[in-house]
Structure 1
Amino acid sequence: MADFGKKTFFRRKKTCPFTGDKAPAIDWKDVKTLGRYISERGKITPSRITAVSNKKQRELAQAIKRARYMALLPYLRQEGEQRSYENKYDKRS
């Protein structure tokens, strides 16, 4: 018997945010864009969560590592510490 009470789950295909006509370029100097792909503990977020393609994930990881080396991004952060590269007064929630 068919169970009519359950809805089928439809997962939308994720697209890479760095591919396309108007996609931003991955640059180690663009700290605000790179900060979106770093977790709260300072780890690089995996591509299965961010939907970045394999090629762009490698470029992104290299850019984050370069920005860390140039002291634009922290290697790791404490739990309560706020990101210094983000606007402290930005109240988008």
Structure 2
Amino acid sequence: MAAKRAPSKKTPSELGRRRKKNPLIAAEIETVDYKDISLLRTFISDRGKIRSRRVTGLTPQQQRQVATAVKNAREMALLPFTIR
């Protein structure tokens, strides 16, 4: 029987993965406003879907703020529900 190995503690860069930079922290934005359409468009795909946290690099709290802001902007007719 082979001996068990201890799990290695490697950082994402050592594993070949890179973390995506958080765009809200880079722009020094603390809260997401539904009226900031240019910011919200960066978090929407070309088909009109809200991009996932894995793609955007946001924290869970920021992703919830972005999702709520996008939904509010759609209700206020600032953003389209679908893009042709």
CA-to-aligned-CA distance 1:10-69 (integer Å, 9 cap, x gap): 32333432247x512311000000000000010000010110111100010000000000
Counterpart for residue 33 of structure 1: 39
What is the RMSD computed on CA atoms of the aligned residues? 1.9
- 1:9, CA displacement in angstroms? 6.1
Corresponding residue pairs, total:
70
1:60 partnered with 2:66: yes
Structure 1 alignment gaps of length 5 or more: 1-7, 79-93
Q: Secondary structure at the match of 1:39?
A: coil
TM-score, length-scaled by structure 2: 0.72
Q: Give runs of ≥4 in structure 1 deviating > 6 Å.
A: none
Q: Distance in 2 between matches of 1:73 and 1:13?
A: 29
Q: Distance in 2 between matches of 1:36 and 1:13?
A: 18
